[in-house]
Chain A
Amino acid sequence: MLQWLPEDVSTFGQGVDNLFHAIYWLTLIVFVLVIGTLIVFLIKYRHQEGKRATYIEGSTRLEIVWTAATTVIVFVLAMFSYPQWNNIKSPTQFPENPDVVVQVSGKQFNWDMTYPGPDNEFGTDDDLVLENELHVPVNAIVHIRLTSVDVIHSFFVPQLRLKQDALPNRFINVWFEATKAGRYEIPCAELCGFGHSGMLGYLNVHAQADYDAWVQERWPQ
């Protein structure tokens, strides 16, 4: 089933995919065991003339065993997940000194990308605002200040394994490092009105030289 996952092009994507695979195998095994047992029981213990069911009220030992076993399994799973989650979402754990900082703002039904311009400050005259086109260099740390001007949207880049809701009047920090140049879609993943379907931006990941050329060409001087 997991071959349907889109290609992974982010540094933390592998961590997410590993967990995905681990849970996939875990749940597949549990599923096969449970459903297998069910089918065996259904066949073996089907009603047969002259045979009665065996009166069994339960077993405290078994109850303890499977309660403990499932508790341990889910906790182990959780232990493996905390660091991945913090790595992706906790601002205190973001890699510092980003190479690029962009403000991304959802607006029915577009993504506005704002670059701070040469002075590296938002809200000044030399800001560059692009509609639905985000440009970043490959293998570089990108920080995004995510926000919205109207309703809640959700910034989703499937290939980066990244999704974060964008809220009005709030700036949420997001980071990623893309590992492969290319053009990727940025759909909106949170219902935001009649134009939600088709609200779509693009993430352009350039080789460093191409990115520099783009900055040269497009950024205000």
Chain B
Amino acid sequence: MHDNEHTEHHHEESFIRKYVFSLDHKTIGKQFLIYGLIMFFVGGGLALLFRWQLAYPDRPLPIIGASQQYIDEGEVVTGADRMWERIYESDKEEWLEVSMPSGVITPEFYNMLFTMHATIMVFFVVVPILVGAFGNFLIPLMIGTRDMAFPILNMLSFWLAVLAAIVMVMGFFVPGGHASAGWTGYAPLSSDPQWTGVEWGLNLWAISLLLQGFSSLVGSINYITTIINMRAPGMTFFRMPLVIWSLFIVAILLLLAFPVLSSALALLIFDRLAGTTFFSATAEGGGDPLLWQHLFWFFGHPEVYILILPGMGIASELVAVFSRKPIFGYRSMVYAMIAIAFLGWIVWGHHMFQSGMRPGLGSIFMTTTMLIAVPSAIKTFNWLGTMFRGSIRFTTPMLHGIAFVSMFVIGGLSGIYMANTPVDIFIHDTYYIVAHIHYVVFGGSLFAIFGGIIFWFPKMYGRYMNDVLSKIHFWLTFIAFNCTFFPMHILGVGGHMRRISNPQQYEFLQGFEGMNIFITMSAFTLGFAQLILVFNFFWSIYKGKVAEQNPWQVNTLEWEAPTPVPHGNFGQIPTVYRGPYEYSVPGEESDWIPQAQPEHAPATSGD
């Protein structure tokens, strides 16, 4: 970052303007990235807490939990005991005392933990990183322009997201605790405080999501405008890299989907605070709990594709670049994404097969859902086609790209089981769903994110991330991820419900104790592995090996810009002469031809 000073004598900006309230899309992108990584730790930490409870129900947590002697006989043995002693002796109701007395997670707190884990991961980690960080950083650079169409809106989008995160985290500390109705917030559990005892926690949850929705809305308008209007000369739509296509489509989905959630949240807040009954089923009120589910999933299914499409885009870049080949079926990749975006609007009912929705509708939604598996399959085959007869470089970003493809295959295939209405009767609301979610969102989106971070880090910070650490992180994550989430399919087949805090209460789940312990140990390993990534990330910003301008020999425009990229990105706006994936063109000396390289000029060999 210090290097910036040398390239930017022309106008010195104050620290605040440059790093805090910045209007530069690159800075805002990095801000979103760091924001997402911080929230990743919050969300991950919550998961580890409830994983402990699932493996060792009602046993005190390690380190902060009291000892068994203290719990049984009140005898202070460990340092943690002393802490609990102090907490119990004080007159004040301390937060820890309410949520986890002696380090044992209460059922109420358990529900808050998984609710907030999912909420944070979906709305505060994956979307901000994929859309906020990669979207902001990549769009202007890859389409060849100097900044976003509306830099001030862009800044607003980030700071609204910060505000939303603050409100969301605050929810833990209000009396009554945080929202505990699941990230899906089904009414009437969510719409009437009497059913959970949660008052302001759930209100804050809704308000925070409204703010986050506003942030996404502002961001998406910006992306759409920028991509339509500000492409460099020669950058036709069908010369755009797939990651830009994916972000473009996602921006449209966000623009259309989030208002639906916002409306639903507004009605929910009215129900809770103003005594309306949109979602409650009292005979006088005329509301309907299923209305919430329809609204939520009408937003929610497009939302899950918002979570994966940019991942698909990033994976496409990685697979093409490191196979040194054009994307197989570029246009069919674009059409598949468009098909997913359209079909995504007519499948929401697959979350509601067992909800009491008319069974005939179930059959219709099964059909549309099965159809959406088709474009997903097309994309997978095209990634394989891209590797076919390639010259594959096993760089760390590529490892993540390969992991993305293979994990997405598992997630997509498990989707077929649940799309099948009779089978879904059994696996709905079991760990099978949890396995599916994590194969697509962790196995898919997060591996793409990791790969993308390592891939674009040299452009972001002018340095490489440490490759040894990156490789250790990759393999640990890949193995621990599969050990954590694959067995959840088996739990689901055994009928293990999701969202229960103590499986030991059920006769038919007795056989799964060992598996739950195994999953928890894997989860802790997985969590630990992420520390390596974050250490590597921050360490490399300052200490990483200095990178050249185009270290991976990539065709797309972001690598034309000097490193680190100055304000305004390009000295002169590049002109685009060809598609983004002209690798290994026959008759050319070099195996890559940058998009901005004029025809007939001698091939450059990277500087």
Contacts and interface: CB of A to CB of B under 8 A. Distances in A.
A209 interface: no
Interface string B514-558: 000000000000000000000000000000000000000000000
Given A45-B391, A53-B390, A74-B374, A200 B429 contact: no
Which 6 A/B pairs are nearest by Cβ-Cβ distance? Answer: A58-B329, A158-B495, A74-B370, A169-B281, A197-B500, A53-B584
B77 interface: no
30 contacts: A16-B422, A20-B423, A23-B423, A31-B410, A41-B384, A46-B391, A47-B391, A55-B583, A57-B329, A59-B328, A63-B378, A70-B378, A74-B416, A75-B367, A82-B363, A84-B422, A85-B421, A151-B189, A159-B508, A161-B425, A165-B356, A167-B290, A167-B355, A167-B356, A185-B506, A185-B508, A187-B497, A190-B429, A197-B499, A198-B500
Contacts, number: 275
A62 B331 CA distance: 13
A194 B111 contact: yes
Interface in B281-300: 281-283, 289-290
Given A4-B493, A165-B356, A193-B195, A67 B426 contact: no
Range, interface on chain B: 35 or more
Interface of B: 106-108, 110-111, 180-182, 186, 188-189, 195-197, 280-283, 289-290, 323-332, 354-356, 359-360, 362-363, 366-367, 370-371, 373-374, 377-378, 380-382, 384-385, 387-394, 402, 405-406, 409-410, 413-414, 416-417, 420-423, 425-426, 428-430, 489-490, 493-495, 497, 499-502, 505-508, 583-586, 591
Contact of A152 (B188, B425, B489, B583): B188
Contacts of A88: 422, 425
Interface string A27-63: 1001100110110011001111001111111110011
Given A167-B356, A189-B497, 16 more contacts: A5-B493, A26-B416, A27-B417, A30-B413, A34-B409, A37-B384, A47-B392, A63-B382, A74-B416, A82-B366, A150-B195, A168-B188, A169-B282, A197-B500, A198-B500, A200-B506
A120 interface: no
Contact of B186 (A5, A38, A190, A200): A190
Contacts of B328: 56-59
A47 B389 CA distance: 10
Nearest to B322: A47
Given A31-B409, A163-B426, A197 B502 contact: yes
A11 interface: no
A41 B378 contact: no
A189 B428 contact: yes
B182 A191 contact: yes
A195 B584 contact: no
A181 interface: no
B508 A6 contact: yes
A89 interface: yes
A71 B583 contact: no
Interface string A176-190: 000000000101111
B304 to A, nearest CB: 19
Contacts of A197: 107, 110, 499-502, 505
A57 B326 contact: yes
B502 A198 contact: yes
A197 B57 CA distance: 11
Contacts of A110: none
A167 B420 contact: no
A53 B325 contact: yes
A168 B421 contact: no
A167 B186 CA distance: 11
Contacts of A187: 497, 500, 506
Most chain A CB inside 10 Å of its own CB: which residue of B373, B388, B392, B495? B495
A81 interface: yes
A31 B506 CA distance: 33
Contact of A54 (B289, B325, B382, B414): B325
A196 B110 CA distance: 11
A19 B413 contact: no
Contact of B196 (A56, A163, A193): A193
A169 B287 CA distance: 10
Interface in A124-168: 150-152, 154, 156, 158-159, 161-165, 167-168
Contacts of B366: 78, 81-82, 85
Nearest to B182: A191
B281 A58 contact: no
A49 B185 CA distance: 56
Interface in A70-106: 70-71, 74-75, 77-78, 81-82, 84-86, 88-91
Contacts of A163: 354, 425-426, 428-429
Most chain B CB inside 10 Å of its own CB: which residue of A63, A164, A172, A200? A63
B283 A45 contact: no
A59 B377 contact: no
Contacts of A78: 366-367, 370, 420
B283 A58 contact: no
A7 to B, nearest CB: 9
Contact of B354 (A81, A165, A170): A165
Contact of A66 (B180, B356, B381, B410): B381
A153 to B, nearest CB: 10
Contact of A58 (B385, B490, B508): B385
Contacts of B360: 90
B429 A85 contact: no
A192 interface: yes
A48 B324 CA distance: 12
Contact of B416 (A16, A27, A57): A27
B83 to A, nearest CB: 25
A112 B357 CA distance: 23
A63 B332 contact: yes
Contacts of B388: 41, 45, 56
A85 B361 CA distance: 11
A78 B586 CA distance: 45
